[in-house]
Amino acid sequence: MFGVTVRDHLMVAHTLRGEVFGPAQRLHGATYVVDATFRGPALDGDGVLVDIGRAGEALREVVARLTYRNLDEEPTLAGANTTTEVLARVVADRLADAVRDGALGARAGDLTAIVVTLHESHVAWASYERAP
């Protein structure tokens, strides 16, 4: 299985509901390093799984729609407790939409998985994996 990973970052404000979150129940900011890995079993004739430039552009577009936003006010996230795990799924789902819409090129149709990892810090992160 081959993988191509691109990286960006995401800066948001949000609150987390539930006593388990302690002070994070109040409005606070979070900055994540975001890794998006595209996986597939075979390379094309040029030795490429997916165009890394297009993959980077797709990730930039996805995080740009979330960055510098209060996620509590985003209609598409209404009612969601925007934990790191939930945000990883949101980014992965939006990247899957980009793959289906052709943003990563025709070759991306052979991908078998997208894995999104949000790094809260150098010692803590969460991931979500899905089919494209």
Residue ranges covered by each domain of the chain: 2-32+47-130
Res 20: pLDDT: 96
Residue 7 has pLDDT above 90, yes or no: yes
Q: Which fold has domain 2-32+47-130?
A: Tetrahydropterin Synthase; Chain A (3.30.479)
* Res. 15 pLDDT band, cuts 50 70 90: very high
Nearest C-alpha neighbor of 87 from the set 75, 71, 98, 101: 71
**Cβ neighbours of residue 48 closer than 8 Å, sequence gap 6 or more:** 107
Report the percent of the chain where pLDDT is more than 70.
Answer: 100
**Cβ neighbours of residue 3 closer than 8 Å, sequence gap 6 or more:** 37, 38, 39, 49, 115
Nearest C-alpha neighbor of 11 from the set 38, 35, 29, 34: 29
Name the β-bridge partners of 10.
32
Q: What is the pTM of this model?
A: 0.95
List, for residues 44-79, the tens digit of each pLDDT value.
999 999 999 999 999 999 999 999 999 999 999 988
Q: What is the mean pLDDT of the chain?
A: 95
How much is the average pLDDT of 10-33? 96
**60, 36 contact by CB (below 8 A):** no
Res 22: pLDDT: 95
Task: Give the integer Cα–Cα distance in Å for 33 and 54.
Answer: 19
